[in-house]
Amino acid sequence: MTGTANPALRTRRLVLHLVCIAVGALIVVPVWFGVLGGFKDNGQLSTNPLGWPDPWVPGNYTGILGSEVFWRQLGNSVLIAVSSTLIMVGAAAMAAFVFARFAFRGRELLFTLFAIGLMFPFAVAILPLFVLLRGMGLLDNPLGVILPQAAFGLPITIVILRQFFRTIPGEVEEAATLDGCSPFGFFWRILLPMARPALATVSVLALVSSWNNFMLPLVVFTDQSWWTLPVGVQAFQGQYADDTARVLAFVVLSMLPALGFYAVAERQLIGGLAGSVKG
Amino acid sequence: MTSSSAVSGALRGGPATDPPAPGPGTARRRDRRPRPGRRGTLAAFLTPSLVLFLLLVVAPIAVASYASLYKWNGFGLPENFVGLDNYTRAFADPTFRGDLWRGLVLIVLSLVVQLPIALALAMLLNQPLKGRSVYRLIFFAPYVLSEVTTAVLFTLVFSPNRGLGDTISRWLGADAGAVFGDPDTVLFAVFLVVSWKYFGLYMILFLAARQSIPKELSEAAVTDGASAWQAFRHVTLPLLGPTIRISVFLSVIGTIQLFDMVWVLTGGGPIHASETMAVTMYQYGFRRFEVGYASAISIVMFVLSLVFALFYQRVVMRRDTEGALTNQGDQR
């Protein structure tokens, strides 16, 4: 399989590269169109959608970066993603600890309840959830997005963490208990540090799904100052429908944090997805 | 998507499949002894997640099933009991019936177009190819973009005069910009954008599964005289079976709840031609304040997901592994 002069093999490899490049182009070209389009004005976009900007117009990007709206939405997205992840992972880790290492009546029943929760798509619950949140006075309150996101993320996180906690030998717990460790002490000082890779995986999955959530912030926040980036992007498109170049710049800027995060956490993300399917 | 990919994890990694870890056994022995404070510990550890889950996941479903029996605008308490009228209305409504049909079309398209392409690309990236990690990085990247961002980007890509639509039209010799405005093509256009975002996910899953198959197996088949295709068809493909079945599952569940992409790309139009159940539910629930009717649609979505999940797990995935939902008995 070394690439020495086998012409058939070389042709084959060339074809494979061409296929990959074609598929890659389908992905890169729309994004590239957006990045360059942000540096154009609308006149250039009509006459020259794909080429380099001439002249370069940085105003679309600098205008958005200089406005408060983008940064506030970015901040809201970060606040909501980080808080829901912390709450969810915290609550899920405690439950997973009990499910993994205690035997008690009703354990399997409870666990099944959570597992069935995996079947509830957000879209199914959104309407009654809205009614409930309104009743609790959580509309236009970040908790109205944070808590439901945490709740809907619990099932998968409990399932993954429980599996991981089970792989930690019972002797570790015995030893800790003999040394006078309370269950909480064992959980906090020994189990959680040992589970760091699994915690990283579930956190990355939770961050991405919170970051991309649209439906819940859409219905919970009528107050614009709480909007997250997905809601903001959609509203921006509606507001500047005639100014394509400016909307492109906003879309590109809103993509950057996600793509940056992907670059950093690619391994956890892919490992987590592949792992959660393998179970 | 991440939350639904989770579904399969739970479905497959249920209690029955877990290796008998030493932990629970020893814990059980010790814990049988009544110890003061044990109950308190259990309660303390379980309360946060139980409260969140019951209040924000289970209660809404219960509220929806209750509200679906009333004609209710969402304000005050529901008082106008109408029995199953909302359900009979939904199943008589051409839009909702259309939603079901369009959902089916999207599912079939995913299964015969999106998944095979993802599988082919995964096999391709499994070859010793220079730069394949770069290809993989690019192919999977759209998955991290939100559906909203993707949808707005593609709206602009195809926008008349200022997008790539005109350029593509010139290449194709057809009007590419009009695909989202034509009831005959809009559903396929939506499908293409959905595929753009999600094929990388399935590719990654297939690739991970492929790489966990020992090389020796297909090599042995080739040594025995099988063609590359035969080796794939009769050795690799069956071994990928579990992952393929999970991907089908994720694809179906994902399609049943499809909302963001459609809402931003087309709003369900033109004339309902790209509307999904979730969009119809949103229209009635949040725009027309027919909360009772919209709740009935929610419950139909829920029941469809649940029935599909249970059926699929019992009938199709059973041979892969015993799951959490169907096989509780073994654990005790």
- pLDDT 10s digits, B244-281: 888 888 888 889 889 999 999 998 878 889 999 999 99
> What does the DSSP 8-state code read for residue B233?
I
The structure's pTM equals 0.85
Among B27, B278, B294, whose Cβ lies nearest the Cβ of A102? B27
| Nearest residue on chain B to A28, alpha-carbon basis | B138
Residues in chain A within 8 Å Cβ distance of B125 = 20
Among A16, A123, A171, whose Cβ lies nearest the Cβ of B257? A123
Q: CA-CA distance, B72 to B75, in Å (whole number)?
A: 7
Among A1, A245, A277, whose Cβ lies nearest the Cβ of B205? A277
Residues in chain A within 8 Å Cβ distance of B18 = 163, 166
> What does the DSSP 8-state code read for residue B41?
H
- Whole-number pLDDT of residue A277: 65
Whole-angstrom CA distances from A25 to A17, A40, B127, B287 are 12, 21, 20, 39
Residues of chain B with pLDDT under 50: 1-34, 322-332
Give the CA radius of gyration of chain A.
Answer: 24
ipTM score for this prediction: 0.88
Determine whether the interchain pair A170/B23 forms a contact, defined as Cβ–Cβ distance below 8 Å.
Answer: yes
- Whole-number pLDDT of residue A216: 92
A161 Cβ contact partners less than 8 Å away, ≥ 6 residues apart:
A92, A93, A96, A97, A100, A195, A198, A199, A202
Q: How many CB pairs under 8 A join A and B?
A: 373
Determine whether the interchain pair A159/B9 forms a contact, defined as Cβ–Cβ distance below 8 Å.
Answer: yes
Tens of pLDDT, residues B184-207: 889 999 999 999 999 999 999 898
**Phi-psi map region of B131: left, alpha, beta (phi>0 left; psi -120 to 50 alpha):** left
Domains and CATH numbers, chain A: 7-59 (no CATH), 68-278 (1.10.3720.10)
Instruction: Determine contact, residues B318/B326, Cβ cutoff 8 Å.
Output: yes
Among A31, A50, A118, whose Cβ lies nearest the Cβ of B10? A118
- Whole-number pLDDT of residue B14: 39
Q: Which of A39, A83, A110, A119 is most worth mutating to test chain B (most B CB atoms within 10 A of its CB)?
A: A119
Q: State how far residue A181 is from chain B, nearest Cα, in angstroms.
A: 13
Q: What is the DSSP string of chain A?
A: ---SS-HHHHHHHHHHHHHHHHHHHHHHHHHHHHHHHTTS-HHHHHH-SSS--SS--THHHHHHHHSHHHHHHHHHHHHHHHHHHHHHHHHHHHHHHHHHH---TTHHHHHHHHHHHTT--HHHHHHHHHHHHHHTT-TTSTHHHHHHHHHHHHHHHHHHHHHHHHTS-HHHHHHHHHTT--HHHIIIIIIHHHTHHHHHHHHHHHHHHHHH--HHHHHH--SGGG--HHHHHHHHHHHTTT-HHHHHHHHHHHHHHHHHHHHHHHHHHHHHHHHHHH-
Residues of chain A with pLDDT under 50: 1-3, 279
Q: State how far residue A48 is from chain B, nearest Cα, in angstroms.
A: 9
How far from chain centre, in Å, is Cα A16?
Answer: 32
Determine whether the interchain pair A125/B22 forms a contact, defined as Cβ–Cβ distance below 8 Å.
Answer: no
Among B147, B166, B208, whose Cβ lies nearest the Cβ of A274? B208
Instruction: Determine contact, residues B278/A123, Cβ cutoff 8 Å.
Output: yes
- Whole-number pLDDT of residue B13: 39
CATH for B2-28+93-331 is 1.10.3720.10
As given in the structure block, the two tokens for residue A185 are 């002490």
> What does the DSSP 8-state code read for residue B213?
S
Least Cα distance to A118 among B298, B6, B255 occurs for B6
Q: CA-CA distance, B225 to B216, in Å (whole number)?
A: 14
| Nearest residue on chain A to B167, alpha-carbon basis | A49
Q: State how far residue A62 is from chain B, nearest Cα, in angstroms.
A: 19
- Whole-number pLDDT of residue B84: 87
